[in-house]
């Protein structure tokens, strides 16, 4: 859908001169936020002013924020979406791109204290990383997954990694077909932190391959993740401390597995205050999507 078709000028009979020239004019809003490089905190503040602005932001501006931040990932997701509609809406995808959802203890993953959610400075989403989270029976699916956001838990515990992702065309995915075909039950107490939809535990479903732990820099069995009915994914893991010997081994081992090729960057962790990524950058293979979070 072109931008001109998405922009809807107010009908002459329903708008005042002040509305036409002011903040409720969609074309003006679009230009203002484009000049601000689609600052997500400014968008959130604008959407909270009144119902009219919230409707404009929801219908038009969240999508533009996502497309500006990760153009190729958004193009890929839209190509698999009916009528260009993303599961859960564009506001939920924007939240997933820029917000670490935190972690609560679950029956399969215990933490000493809950970790609250927070905006992130930057995130790298990779479809190569996503392949590590798919079992062989689901390898035809396309899943974008972020690097783990690292949270120190104290001297006596390993650091906690929190990650998130999104499926392309989840309605037609092998993962969804397997979950429904096996009649895997939806979680009763857990809801998607991004869209509020019911979720499946991939741990309970037996769909956590060993390659996921290796991708995250964790131990097999020391992680858990969920997928909601709209195709959003989020999870937590215990991160193995990296020693200098580990780094040397990683540099020497570059052809062990196609999922972990050198040009994919190996294991990379995003800290709470990571500001190193550039907006919308991609690797030469077109597999890495980096989005900048809000600046303070």
For tokens 């689901």, name the residue.
Answer: 138
Residue with tokens 């119902």: 51
Q: Return the structure tokens found at 141.
A: 């699916």
Read off the pLDDT of residues 168-212 as tens digits, 9 standing for 90 and up.
Answer: 999 999 999 999 999 999 999 889 999 999 999 999 999 999 999
- Interacting residues of 92 by C-beta distance below 8 A, sequence separation 6+: 86, 194, 195, 230, 232
pLDDT at 228: 97
Closest CA to 165 of 122, 141, 129, 214: 129
Separation of CA 103 from chain center: 15
Q: What is the mean pLDDT of residues 22-40?
A: 85
- Comparing CA positions, the residue from 259, 269, 268, 197 lying closest to residue 226 is 197
The pLDDT of 62-75, averaged and rounded, is 92
Instruction: Examine the pLDDT at 30 and tell me if it is beyond 80.
Output: yes
256: DSSP letter: S
Provide the pLDDT confidence category of residue 25 given band limits of 50, 70 and 90.
confident
Write the pLDDT tens digit of every residue in 126-144. Answer: 999 999 999 999 989 999 9
Q: Could you report how far apart the first and last alpha carbons of the chain are, in Å?
A: 33
Model pTM score? 0.77
Q: Tell me the three state secondary structure of residue 238.
A: strand
pLDDT at 160: 95
| Tokens at 199, concatenated | 């979720």
Q: Tokens 């190996």 sit at which residue? A: 266
pLDDT number for residue 244: 46
- pLDDT higher for 267 or 218? 218
Output the CA torsion 247→248→253→258 (10° steps).
20
258, 108 contact by CB (below 8 A): no
Q: What is the tally of helices (H) and strands (E) in the chain?
A: 12, 11
What pLDDT was estimated at residue 174? 96
For residue 175, what pLDDT is reported?
97
Beta bridge partners of 167: 143
Lowest mean pLDDT among 92-96, 216-220, 223-227, 229-233: 216-220
* DSSP of 138-151: GTTSEEEEEPPEEE
**Helices of type H across the chain:** 3-6, 17-21, 26-35, 40-47, 51-56, 62-69, 71-79, 90-98, 127-131, 174-181, 210-216, 244-252
Q: What is the pLDDT of residues 77-130, one digit of tens each?
A: 999 887 777 888 999 999 999 999 999 999 899 998 999 999 988 889 999 999
Mean pLDDT of the chain: 79
Asked whether the predicted pLDDT for residue 226 surpasses 90, the reply is: yes
Q: Rounded to whole angstroms, how far apart are CA atoms 187 and 156?
A: 31
Of 42-46, 55-59, 256-260, 264-268, the poorest mean pLDDT is in 256-260
138: its two tokens: 């689901």
Q: Residue 11: what pLDDT?
A: 52
Q: Confidence band (pLDDT; 50, 70, 90) for 250? A: very low
**For residues 225 and 14, which has the higher predicted lDDT (pLDDT)?**
225
């Amino acid at each position: 859908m072109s931008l001109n078709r998405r922009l809807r000028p107010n009908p002459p009979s329903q708008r005042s001169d002040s509305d036409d020239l002011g903040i409720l004019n969609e074309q003006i809003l679009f230009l203002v936020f484009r000049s601000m490089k689609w600052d997500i905190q400014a968008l959130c503040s604008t959407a909270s002013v009144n119902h009219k602005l919230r409707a404009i932001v929801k219908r038009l501006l969240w999508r533009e924020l996502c497309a500006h931040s990760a153009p190729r990932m958004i193009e890929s997701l839209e190509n698999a979406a009916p009528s260009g509609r993303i599961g859960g809406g564009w506001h939920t995808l924007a939240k997933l791109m820029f917000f670490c959802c935190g972690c609560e203890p679950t029956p399969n993953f215990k933490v000493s204290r809950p970790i609250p959610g927070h905006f992130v400075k930057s995130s790298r989403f990779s479809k190569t990383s996503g392949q590590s989270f798919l079992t062989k029976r689901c390898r035809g699916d396309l899943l974008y997954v972020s690097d783990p956001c690292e949270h120190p838990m104290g001297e006596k515990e390993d650091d906690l990694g929190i990650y998130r992702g999104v499926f392309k065309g989840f309605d037609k995915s092998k993962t969804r077909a397997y979950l429904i075909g096996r009649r895997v039950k939806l979680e009763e107490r857990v809801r998607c932190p991004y869209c509020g939809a019911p979720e499946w535990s991939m741990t309970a479903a037996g769909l956590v391959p060993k390659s996921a732990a290796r991708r995250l820099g964790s131990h097999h069995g020391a992680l858990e993740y969920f997928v909601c009915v709209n195709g959003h994914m989020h999870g937590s893991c215990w991160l193995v401390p990296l020693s200098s010997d580990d780094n040397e081994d990683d540099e020497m081992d570059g052809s062990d597995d196609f999922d972990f090729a050198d040009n994919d960057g190996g294991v990379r962790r995003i800290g709470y205050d990571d500001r190193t990524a550039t907006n919308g950058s991609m690797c030469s293979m077109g597999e890495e999507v980096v989005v900048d979070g809000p600046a303070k």
